[in-house]
């Protein structure tokens, strides 16, 4: 299988199962199996934190309990996702091999405890994880229950120990060809007399020491990424060698910024991630939470452009927020369908059974301390299990997107580290604004980074593309020249991959040719300070906040909006530039959502791109999955009230569950600019959605 992708043949409904916490409770496995049947689970994830139970003292192994679990799961027909237990370690290891304990940026070594606190460089820990995983692969690699390897858990964090410092210096030597002069030039160390004479003088960034060389900060993040990926590859090696036919995954974490998930993805057969949206954060915000969650789902699908797993979500509450809200009735099912709609092939829980003690005893679980099936949460999970059985034909199906949102981890790091502009930077928030505008039009969106191939897309939105890695400007220019539409904003193309500013004007690296503007200065605004920008010669104006760049359009660049206030009133605030067969839009200011909505609607019209809807109201998610000739249309309602969606693609559908026909009307008929006021009856392309409800429609392939 190597680095090839893995596609599930059925939808997985599973949970983190920790029977090793209950080994002295008679009969509990029988009861677990009975309840799993009732909950409709077809999979369990076992052993994520089981090291102490597998190797209670160094070199002493106790796999017998796991043998029994594997056998019982095989008898019960459950697929086991078996974990490599490196996410946490037994006390004996930390006592005898203190190098495995992580050292903080302040250069303080951790004590034993917690989890995820190991050094990624430690030769001992690397050797031990390979030993353990070799034993697991040999013992269970041919077991009838084995389905997938789950390596580590939620990789993250960084270690600043001497082993890591040395590895970092070696990494730098390789990157800068052993030439300290080259490093000094790339990091611009002449500033404050910070130049290095030798690689041995270099230390990882710390608030106690150097942290103002932006090139150093950026290289450190890249090193942490490479070291994390290398640790993962190292501990996956026994599975790759001994059981090449069994897929390998690890569970990634949402928009976690500690390392770049794009570098991990090629070494995973299947992407999986842990999703914990803050449903109920504020009543009126459910639509925003759904949008943020959908963005992450789209990211994880995009990492390999294939279906992914939801390795963890809670069936009810979490235990780590300041206020831990219950998922209201129906929200669990709706959030599960949101994952499926965006490309997930599984819904899995943390956790199956609530721990009796310690830190996660009050974290949501399928089985409560109460212990039986007559609970609200168990009923909701069982309902989800039945739903996944019905939706089996979805497994392995794709999402096809013609629009991409360029959101880049290295760009995020560079923006966060820069000194200047304003706080907060609003990179994530701005990416979401552009995403929201596209999703409002029912357009599927891939999330891409700078290294992705842009050629398959028709629209690339690249807000705040501050850092340009080598070759990116050329590839974006080619994308536009070939007919693509690129949307850039203020702050684009300011630094190269080593965080050195481009000379000769922004956007640099040659991107200015496509953008058709020169950005001379950046004004930033206070929290409640605004400017506005108006369409030339009209009274159509839009509020702008946070960022106002002062730009000079080229002679052949069309000015769409001009600033209305401040000393730069009358200067261009939004432009459009034809370049080759395509167009590049440049937004010099951070606009209110309404302008982005109109802009992307115009772009779609200009490109003749249509979704299945003209536009939807806030809180409605429209998604499509394709499975061969079958096309599944998902309409979800997070608006907090009853809602309607008008299908304007002129095609005919049937309800997935009832078979009831639903006819879309021709797009020429439904030209309303807003769906907020839509009323109507079925038969006119109008599909009604109850509060917290959804519909799944199947396109009739005869049309
Ligand atoms: Zn270390």
> What is the pLDDT at residue 663?
81
**657: which DSSP letter?**
T
Whether residue 535 sits in one domain with residue 634: no
pLDDT tens-digit map of 358-404? 999 999 999 999 999 999 999 999 999 999 999 999 999 999 999 99
Span from the CA of 32 to the centroid of ligand 1 (angstroms): 40
> What is the pLDDT at residue 664?
76
**Token reading at 43:** 């999979």
Whether residue 506 sits in one domain with residue 440: yes
Is 637 domain-assigned? yes
Whether residue 626 sits in one domain with residue 694: yes
Strand 79-84 versus strand 146-151 pairing type:
parallel
**Token reading at 541:** 């104006």
pLDDT tens-digit map of 504-555? 999 999 999 999 999 999 999 999 999 999 998 788 999 999 999 999 999 9
Catalytic residue at 312? yes
Span from the CA of 331 to the centroid of ligand 1 (angstroms): 42
Is 189 domain-assigned? no
Q: b/e string for 406-438 if b means 16 or more Cβ within 10 A?
A: bbbbbbbbbbebbeebeeebbbbebbbbbbbbb
Per-residue pLDDT at 18 exceeds 50: yes
Backbone angles phi, psi at 88, to 5 degrees: -150, 155
> What is the pLDDT at residue 671?
40
Whether residue 693 sits in one domain with residue 544: no
More confident residue, 153 or 614: 153
pLDDT tens-digit map of 218-276? 999 999 999 999 999 999 999 999 999 999 999 999 999 999 999 999 999 999 999 99
Is 44 domain-assigned? yes
pLDDT tens-digit map of 44-85? 999 999 999 999 999 999 999 999 999 999 999 999 999 999
Is 298 domain-assigned? yes
Span from the CA of 165 to the centroid of ligand 1 (angstroms): 7
Distance CA 427, CA 415 (A): 8
More confident residue, 479 or 673: 479
Say if residue 179 is exposed, middle or buried (CB neighbours under 10 Å; 0-12, 13-18, 19+): exposed
> What is the pLDDT at residue 333?
97
10 Å Cβ neighbour count for 108? 10
Whether residue 599 sits in one domain with residue 633: no
Average pLDDT over residues 140-161: 98
Q: Cβ distance 147 to 83 under 8 Å?
A: no
**Token reading at 18:** 């920790």
Span from the CA of 92 to the centroid of ligand 1 (angstroms): 19
> What is the pLDDT at residue 703?
46
Strand 495-496 versus strand 643-646 pairing type:
unpaired
Span from the CA of 201 to the centroid of ligand 1 (angstroms): 17
> What is the pLDDT at residue 536?
82
Is 526 domain-assigned? yes
Is 30 domain-assigned? yes
Whether residue 417 sits in one domain with residue 328: no
Average pLDDT over residues 3-16: 91
Whether residue 484 sits in one domain with residue 358: no
Q: Cβ distance 301 to 307 under 8 Å?
A: yes
CATH number of the structural domain spanning residue 433: 3.40.50.880
Tell me the β-bridge partners of 663. Answer: 652
Say if residue 523 is exposed, middle or buried (CB neighbours under 10 Å; 0-12, 13-18, 19+): middle
Distance CA 294, CA 277 (A): 10
Per-residue pLDDT at 586 exceeds 90: yes
Distance CA 307, CA 342 (A): 9
Span from the CA of 104 to the centroid of ligand 1 (angstroms): 9
Say if residue 501 is exposed, middle or buried (CB neighbours under 10 Å; 0-12, 13-18, 19+): exposed
Per-residue pLDDT at 672 exceeds 60: no
> What is the pLDDT at residue 669?
40
Is 175 domain-assigned? no
> What is the pLDDT at residue 665?
76
> What is the pLDDT at residue 196?
98
Whether residue 567 sits in one domain with residue 427: yes
pLDDT tens-digit map of 195-221? 999 999 999 999 999 999 999 999 999
Per-residue pLDDT at 14 exceeds 90: yes
Span from the CA of 243 to the centroid of ligand 1 (angstroms): 30
Cis status of the peptide bond prior to 232, with omega within 30 of 0: no
> What is the pLDDT at residue 675?
43
Whether residue 371 sits in one domain with residue 318: yes
H/E run at residue 52: helix 51-54
Number of domains in the chain: 3
Span from the CA of 111 to the centroid of ligand 1 (angstroms): 14
Picking from 360, 394, 428, the residue at the C-terminal end of a domain is 394
Distance CA 117, CA 109 (A): 10
Q: Cβ distance 6 to 269 under 8 Å?
A: yes
10 Å Cβ neighbour count for 7? 14
The confidence band for 305, taking pLDDT boundaries of 50, 70 and 90, is very high
Per-residue pLDDT at 667 exceeds 80: no
The confidence band for 702, taking pLDDT boundaries of 50, 70 and 90, is low
Whether residue 250 sits in one domain with residue 103: yes
Is 614 domain-assigned? no
Catalytic residue among 154, 380, 450, 497: 154
Q: Cβ distance 473 to 509 under 8 Å?
A: yes
C-alpha distances (whole Å) from 487 to each of 163, 459, 490, 492, 673 are 44, 8, 11, 10, 22
Catalytic residue among 158, 235, 286, 312: 312
CATH number of the structural domain spanning residue 268: 3.20.20.80
The angle formed by the CA atoms of residues 103, 109 and 112, to the nearest 5 degrees, is 110
Coil, strand, or helix at residue 573?
A: strand
**What is the share, in percent, of the chain residues with pLDDT greater than 90?**
92
pLDDT tens-digit map of 416-472? 999 999 999 999 999 999 999 999 999 999 999 999 999 999 999 999 999 999 999
> What is the pLDDT at residue 537?
79
Distance CA 146, CA 140 (A): 7
Picking from 361, 394, 427, the residue at the C-terminal end of a domain is 394
The confidence band for 670, taking pLDDT boundaries of 50, 70 and 90, is very low
Instruction: Answer positive or negative: Cα dihedral of 389, 310, 299, 294.
Output: positive
Cβ neighbours for 307, distance < 8 A, ≥ 6 positions apart: 7, 8, 301, 343, 344, 345, 395, 396, 397, 398
Q: What is the Cα 490 distance to its own chain's centre?
A: 24
pLDDT tens-digit map of 92-131? 999 999 999 999 999 999 999 999 899 999 999 999 999 9
Cis status of the peptide bond prior to 507, with omega within 30 of 0: yes
How high does pLDDT run on average in the chain? 95
Report CA dihedral (290, 294, 300, 305) to the nearest 10 degrees: 160
CATH number of the structural domain spanning residue 673: 2.60.40.1180
More confident residue, 702 or 451: 451
Distance CA 386, CA 39 (A): 8
H/E run at residue 34: helix 28-39
Q: Cβ distance 204 to 251 under 8 Å?
A: no
**Token reading at 568:** 């730069």
Whether residue 420 sits in one domain with residue 367: no
Distance CA 426, CA 464 (A): 9
> What is the pLDDT at residue 683?
53
Backbone angles phi, psi at 678, to 5 degrees: -65, 130
The residue with tokens 């300070």 is 529
Picking from 607, 632, 661, the residue at the C-terminal end of a domain is 607
Whether residue 407 sits in one domain with residue 390: no
Per-residue pLDDT at 676 exceeds 60: no
Per-residue pLDDT at 21 exceeds 70: yes
Per-residue pLDDT at 283 exceeds 80: no
Report CA dihedral (494, 496, 498, 504) to the nearest 10 degrees: -70
Q: Domain containing 686: what range?
A: 620-699
Cβ neighbours for 341, distance < 8 A, ≥ 6 positions apart: 621, 623, 625, 634, 636
């Amino acid at each position: 299988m190597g680095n090839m992708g893995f596609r599930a043949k059925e939808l997985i409904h599973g949970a983190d199962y920790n029977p090793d916490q209950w080994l002295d409770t008679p009969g509990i496995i029988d009861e677990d199996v009975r309840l799993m049947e009732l909950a409709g689970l077809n999979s369990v994830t076992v052993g994520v934190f089981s090291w102490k139970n597998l190797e209670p003292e160094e070199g002493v192994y106790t796999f017998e309990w796991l043998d029994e679990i594997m056998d019982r799961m095989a008898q019960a027909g459950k697929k086991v996702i078996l974990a490599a237990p490196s996410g946490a370690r037994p006390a004996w290891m930390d006592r005898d091999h203190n190098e495995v304990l992580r050292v903080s940026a302040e250069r303080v070594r951790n004590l034993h405890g917690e989890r995820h606190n190991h050094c990624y460089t430690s030769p001992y820990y690397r050797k031990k994880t390979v030993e353990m995983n070799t034993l697991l692969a040999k013992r269970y690699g041919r077991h009838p229950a084995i389905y997938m390897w789950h390596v580590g858990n939620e990789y993250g964090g960084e270690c600043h120990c001497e082993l890591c410092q040395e590895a970092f210096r070696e990494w730098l030597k390789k990157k800068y060809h052993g030439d300290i002069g080259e490093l000094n030039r790339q990091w611009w160390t002449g500033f404050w007399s910070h130049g290095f004479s030798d690689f041995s003088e270099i230390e990882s960034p710390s608030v106690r020491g150097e942290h103002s060389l932006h090139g150093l900060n950026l290289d450190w993040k890249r090193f942490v990424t490479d070291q994390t990926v290398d640790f993962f590859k190292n501990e996956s090696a026994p599975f790759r060698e001994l059981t090449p036919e069994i897929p390998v995954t690890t569970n990634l974490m949402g928009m976690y910024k500690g390392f770049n998930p794009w570098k991990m993805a090629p070494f995973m057969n299947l992407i999986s991630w842990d999703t914990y949206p803050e449903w109920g954060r504020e009543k009126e915000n459910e639509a925003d939470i759904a949008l943020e969650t959908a963005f992450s789902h789209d990211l994880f699908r995009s990492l390999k452009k294939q279906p992914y797993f939801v390795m963890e979500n809670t069936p009810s509450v979490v235990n780590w927020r300041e206020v831990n809200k219950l998922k209201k009735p129906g929200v669990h099912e709706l959030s599960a369908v949101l994952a499926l709609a965006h490309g997930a092939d599984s819904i899995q829980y943390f956790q199956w059974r609530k721990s009796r003690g310690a830190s996660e005893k009050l974290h949501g679980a399928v089985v409560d301390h109460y212990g039986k099936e007559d609970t609200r949460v168990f009923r909701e999970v069982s309902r989800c299990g039945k739903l996944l059985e019905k939706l089996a034909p979805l497994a392995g199906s794709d999402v096809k997107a013609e629009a991409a949102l360029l959101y880049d981890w290295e760009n995020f790091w560079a923006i966060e580290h820069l000194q200047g502009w304003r706080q907060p930077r609003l990179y994530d928030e701005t990416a979401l604004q552009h995403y929201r505008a596209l999703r409002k039009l029912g357009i599927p969106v891939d999330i891409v980074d700078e290294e992705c191939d842009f050629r398959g897309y028709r629209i690339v939105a690249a807000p705040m593309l501050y850092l340009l890695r080598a070759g990116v400007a050329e590839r974006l220019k080619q994308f536009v020249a070939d007919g693509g539409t690129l949307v850039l904003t203020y702050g684009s193309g300011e630094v190269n991959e080593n965080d050195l500013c481009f000379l000769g004007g922004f956007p640099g690296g040659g991107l200015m040719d496509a953008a058709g503007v020169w950005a001379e200065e950046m004004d930033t605004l206070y929290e409640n300070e605004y400017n506005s920008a108006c369409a030339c010669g009209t009274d159509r104006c839009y509020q702008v906040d946070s960022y106002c760049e002062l730009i000079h359009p080229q002679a052949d660049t069309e000015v769409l909006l001009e600033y209305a206030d401040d000393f730069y009133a009358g200067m261009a605030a939004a432009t459009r530039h034809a370049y080759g067969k395509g167009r590049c839009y440049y937004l010099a200011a951070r606009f209110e959502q309404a302008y982005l909505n109109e802009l992307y609607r115009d772009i779609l019209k200009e490109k003749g791109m249509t979704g299945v809807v003209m536009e939807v109201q806030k809180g409605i998610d429209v998604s499509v999955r394709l499975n061969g000739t079958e096309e599944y249309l998902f309409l979800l309602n997070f608006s907090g009230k009853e809602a309607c969606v008008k299908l304007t693609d002129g095609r005919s559908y049937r309800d997935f569950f009832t078979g009831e026909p639903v006819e879309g009307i021709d797009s020429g008929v439904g030209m309303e600019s807003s769906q907020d006021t839509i009323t109507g009856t079925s038969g006119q392309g109008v599909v009604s959605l109850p509060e917290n409800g959804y519909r799944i429609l199947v396109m009739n392939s005869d049309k």
